[in-house]
């Protein structure tokens, strides 16, 4: 029996997802009623619901791609639950890979986990790690938000006193606002850098194909970058704001599609690894 896709796990997952759906429905009804109390038009409320539903499609595509990426190692249930409740590709894949490596397994998320202890350990790392924002945000978010607002007000007041325009993109921000402007992109670039480096120089086992850096990993990386860059340029040039949320999911799906295509059309080329 494949314990990664056990019936009990599916029942637990169904219970969790039903709770999430019930919670979403509860807040949808409450929001609709409050909107009516405020005198909002029914058409506007329907448009808000429709636009919100459409906005979830890019996220759903990212979730699907991540579930597919994690399924070979963890099965369907754990990735499905993790990403349906609270999670994202940059966290889940890194957490799962690092947890697997901690057990001395070098194949990462490319090979099925056959040891129940390893499986449970990886699931706990993925779950506990993502819970910290839920614990910290109630205490940190409000004070941090106030500091950001105060920093923005001070910057505007200073600009007015200097008889200049309000703070523009070209002016440097100071204090916590400026700190966050630098730190957030730096953290994101660091995560992307780790993925890029692993695709080019990641070490795998000699007797396991496609777990190390090679032609297929580089081709997949290049496809994702090119497709995302082209879509981003199209969105900016033609001012297609609706396309921007779809850029990353489409890039991911396109890269996965190219990997499958190349592996089936030219397997000898796809299996070339210089860090296997």
The predicted-structure confidence for 55-71, as pLDDT tens digits, reads as follows 777 777 778 878 888 89
Q: What is the pLDDT of residue 258?
A: 92
One domain for residues 137 and 207: no
One domain for residues 128 and 211: no
The residues near 272 (Cβ < 8 Å, ≥ 6 apart) are: 214, 215, 216
One domain for residues 134 and 9: yes
Q: What is the pLDDT of residue 229?
A: 93
Q: Looking at the domain assignment, is residue 92 inside a domain?
A: yes
Q: What is the pLDDT of residue 226?
A: 95
Count of domains observed in the chain: 2
Q: What is the pLDDT of residue 30?
A: 94
86, 114, 148: which is the final residue of a domain? 148
Question: Structure pTM?
Answer: 0.61
DSSP 206: T
Could you list the residue range(s) of the whole structural domain that residue 72 is in?
Answer: 3-148
**Mean residue pLDDT across the chain:** 82
Q: Looking at the domain assignment, is residue 169 inside a domain?
A: no
Q: Looking at the domain assignment, is residue 189 inside a domain?
A: no
One domain for residues 27 and 131: yes
Q: Looking at the domain assignment, is residue 208 inside a domain?
A: yes
Backbone angles phi, psi at 273, to 5 degrees: -130, 135
One domain for residues 113 and 232: no
Cβ-contact 94, 194 below 8 angstroms? yes
Average pLDDT over residues 21-30: 93
One domain for residues 209 and 138: no
One domain for residues 47 and 125: yes
Q: Looking at the domain assignment, is residue 168 inside a domain?
A: no
> What confidence tens digit (pLDDT) does each residue in 222-268 have?
999 999 999 999 999 998 887 887 787 788 888 888 998 999 999 99
One domain for residues 7 and 144: yes
> What confidence tens digit (pLDDT) does each residue in 71-88 have?
989 998 999 888 888 777
Cβ-contact 259, 227 below 8 angstroms? no
- Binned at pLDDT 50, 70 and 90, residue 142 comes out as confident
Q: Looking at the domain assignment, is residue 196 inside a domain?
A: no
Q: What is the pLDDT of residue 269?
A: 92
Q: Looking at the domain assignment, is residue 188 inside a domain?
A: no
**Identity of the highest mean pLDDT range in 157-166, 198-207, 259-268:** 259-268
Burial category of 136 from C-beta neighbours within 10 Å (exposed 0-12, middle 13-18, buried 19 and up): exposed
Q: Looking at the domain assignment, is residue 241 inside a domain?
A: yes
pLDDT at 166 over 60: no
One domain for residues 144 and 227: no
């Amino acid at each position: 029996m494949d314990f990664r896709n056990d019936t009990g796990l599916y029942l637990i997952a169904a219970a969790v997802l039903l709770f999430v759906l019930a919670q979403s429905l509860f807040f949808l009804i409450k929001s609709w009623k409050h909107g009516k109390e405020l005198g909002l038009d029914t058409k506007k409320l329907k448009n808000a619901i429709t636009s919100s539903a459409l906005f979830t499609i890019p996220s759903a595509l990212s979730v699907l791609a991540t579930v597919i990426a994690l399924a070979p190692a963890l099965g369907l249930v754990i990735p499905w639950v993790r990403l349906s409740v609270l999670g994202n590709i940059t966290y889940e894949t890194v957490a799962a890979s690092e947890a697997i490596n901690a057990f001395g397994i070098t194949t990462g998320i490319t090979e099925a986990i056959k040891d129940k202890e390893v499986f449970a350990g990886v699931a706990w790392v993925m779950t506990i790690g993502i819970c910290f924002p839920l614990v910290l945000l109630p205490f940190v978010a409000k004070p941090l938000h106030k500091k950001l607002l105060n920093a923005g007000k001070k910057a505007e007041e200073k600009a007015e006193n200097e008889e200049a325009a309000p703070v523009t993109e070209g002016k440097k921000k100071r204090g916590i606002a400026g700190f966050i402007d630098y730190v957030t992109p730096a953290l994101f670039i660091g995560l992307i850098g780790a993925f890029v480096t692993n695709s080019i120089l990641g070490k795998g086992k000699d007797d396991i194909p496609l777990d190390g850096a090679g032609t297929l990993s580089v081709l997949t990386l290049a496809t994702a970058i090119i497709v995302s860059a082209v879509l981003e340029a199209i969105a900016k040039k033609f001012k297609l704001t609706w396309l921007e949320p779809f850029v990353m999911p489409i890039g991911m799906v396109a890269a996965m599609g190219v990997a499958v295509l190349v592996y089936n059309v030219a397997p000898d080329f796809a299996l070339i690894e210089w860090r296997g």
